[in-house]
A and B are shown apart, each in its own frame.
Chain A
Amino acid sequence: MNTIADHMQEPPEDIDFAGEYVLGVLGAADRAAAERRIAGDASFAREVADWESRLMPLIDEINPVPPPYALWPRIRAAAGLPADPRAPATQVRAAEPAGFWQSAQIWRWLTAGGFAAAAASLVALFVVPQIAPPPVEAPASKPLVAKMVQDDGKSLFLATVDARLGTVVVQPTTVDIPANRVAELWLIPPGDSPHSLGLLDPTRANAVVVPKELIAALGPHALFAVTVEPPGGGPGGKPSGPIIAKGELSLLL
């Protein structure tokens, strides 16, 4: 497909400035020029909108990443809206239809990672909740902890949970994440599918704010897992990469 002509500079009339702007290759000055033209030149604005629609399907390939829960109050305050005392509506996850990750699928995901040793305890996770009494909610004064270990038992992350506030502090030990990959934290309530708690910086302590609708799941026997994911996190808000560490929440007695 390469021809000599490909390597020659295009004549200026062949430059699609609107396309360059939407693609995102322009420097600051050219972007500013394009934005001025959008404001003042209706036909250029239409070309830009056409390019946006043309390239929009690529957006489907970008994985959704839940922002930290604390961001919404900041945005609401910045917009001049009053704080809302009522409980927030249930999170709508447009890219993740409810029930997509049923326990059979999470079972496959968990076992595909190759830690059969954990199988017995995982079976218990999925089976016990149906026959055992519902887990007792953690007393506010007693924090929960989870030591997330890799297959050989080496501890990679230590998580300290305040179930009342819905916050988790995740302290990594020495964790190597491959270049161009990220570490993502998942909360897996007993018998449920993994819920993303966002990306972790493996080089420092992370303060994670748990979405309100998941706070109730922060109890003994819930599982934390860390997977290695492409930039931006697991596609569709679901884990796709290998589990590098996992650990069960337990009461710090």
Chain B
Amino acid sequence: MNESTDAVLDERDRLRDLLVAVAGGDARAFENLYKSTSAKLFGICLRVVKQRSDAEDVLQDVYSTIWRKANLYDSARASAMTWLAMMARNKAIDRVRSGGVERNSATLDLADDLHDMNPTPTAAAESTDDNKRLDACLGELDVQRRNLIRVAFFEGATYEELASRSGSPLGTIKSWIRRGLLRLKACLER
């Protein structure tokens, strides 16, 4: 069931070509891009914005922006999927920062390994070299920092939200995450 590297690269190229065509105003390419990526981007929005109707508004904003600003995509800098996924995350995070949106306030037990956030065995088996490297470097962090970084990334939680949900002082949370980021970067650049 493992996808071959070729298939992954073909898909990357296909999305890049679609995005380039969208930048040129190709409506058919825009529809194909939507069909290829909207479920993933909606999943990303829903992790940050809990209310479905809010997440739908964010997704609409994401694709409207893609249609208008696809020309800003630089294939030398990032893969098409990275550009799309990060735009969806940023718009979802901006939406929750603007207020009036339900936030996850569930208690975080940082000492506990967050099992349900770990990749499924299938996903692990299919993971690429980049995934394995990030996984290994996250694995070098202690469990609190790893959990904080994962929750922050998936939910777009602020330092303040993470402090209140975990019952830890804000300064400690900031210190853990900042140091965690530095270590992560150093590890990934080794």
Residues of A bordering B, CB below 8 Å: 1-2, 6-10, 14-16, 19-20, 22-28, 31, 46, 49, 51-68, 71-72, 74-76, 78-79, 81, 84, 88-89, 91-95, 97, 100, 179-180, 199, 201, 230-233, 235-237, 240
User: Which bracket fits the contact residues of B?
Assistant: 35 or more
Residues of B bordering A, CB below 8 Å: 1, 3, 11, 27, 30-32, 34-40, 42-44, 46-48, 52, 56, 59-60, 63-64, 67-68, 77-79, 81-82, 85-86, 89, 93-94, 97-98, 106, 116-117, 119-120, 122-123, 127-128, 130-131, 133-135, 141-142, 144, 149-150, 152-160, 162, 171-172, 174-179, 181-182, 184-185, 188
**Chain A facing B: main interface SS:** loop
**Chain B facing A: main interface SS:** helix
Write out the residue numbers on chain A whose beta carbons fall within 8 Å of the beta carbon of B172.
Answer: 7
Known contacts: A8-B175, A65-B39. The answer to whether A53 contacts B78 by CB under 8 A is yes
Contact present for A25 and B35 (CB under 8 Å): no
> Across the two chains, which residue of chain B brings its CB closest to A201?
B52
Contact present for B60 and A62 (CB under 8 Å): no
Contact present for A236 and B44 (CB under 8 Å): no
Contact present for A81 and B30 (CB under 8 Å): yes
> Across the two chains, which residue of chain B brings its CB closest to A47?
B185
Contact present for B31 and A71 (CB under 8 Å): no
Partner of B122 from A46, A81, A236 at Cβ < 8 Å: A236
Contact present for A57 and B179 (CB under 8 Å): no
Write out the residue numbers on chain B whose beta carbons fall within 8 Å of the beta carbon of A180.
Answer: 106, 116
Contact present for B158 and A14 (CB under 8 Å): no
Known contacts: A25-B157, A180-B106, A231-B46. The answer to whether A59 contacts B85 by CB under 8 A is yes
Lowest 7 A-B CB distances belong to which pairs?
A1-B142, A64-B39, A24-B156, A57-B131, A28-B97, A19-B181, A67-B42
Write out the residue numbers on chain A whose beta carbons fall within 8 Å of the beta carbon of B68.
Answer: 79
Partner of B134 from A31, A57, A95, A201 at Cβ < 8 Å: A57
Contact present for A2 and B142 (CB under 8 Å): yes
Distance between Cα atoms of A58 and B141 in the complex (Å): 16
Contact present for B40 and A64 (CB under 8 Å): yes
Distance between Cα atoms of A27 and B44 in the complex (Å): 19
Write out the residue numbers on chain A whose beta carbons fall within 8 Å of the beta carbon of B64.
Answer: 75, 78-79
Partner of A24 from B52, B120, B152 at Cβ < 8 Å: B152
Distance between Cα atoms of A71 and B162 in the complex (Å): 32
Contact present for A10 and B179 (CB under 8 Å): yes
Write out the residue numbers on chain B whose beta carbons fall within 8 Å of the beta carbon of A79.
Answer: 30, 63-64, 67-68
Shortest Cβ gap from A72 to chain B (Å): 6
Write out the residue numbers on chain A whose beta carbons fall within 8 Å of the beta carbon of B79.
Answer: 53, 56
Chosen A-B contacts, 30 in total, with CB atoms closer than 8 Å, are: A6-B175, A19-B185, A23-B153, A25-B152, A25-B158, A31-B94, A54-B134, A55-B153, A57-B128, A57-B130, A58-B150, A59-B40, A60-B123, A61-B117, A62-B40, A63-B43, A64-B39, A65-B43, A67-B38, A67-B39, A71-B38, A71-B60, A75-B63, A89-B35, A91-B35, A97-B1, A180-B116, A230-B116, A232-B46, A233-B46
Shortest Cβ gap from A94 to chain B (Å): 5
Shortest Cβ gap from B135 to chain A (Å): 7
Write out the residue numbers on chain B whose beta carbons fall within 8 Å of the beta carbon of A235.
Answer: 120, 122-123
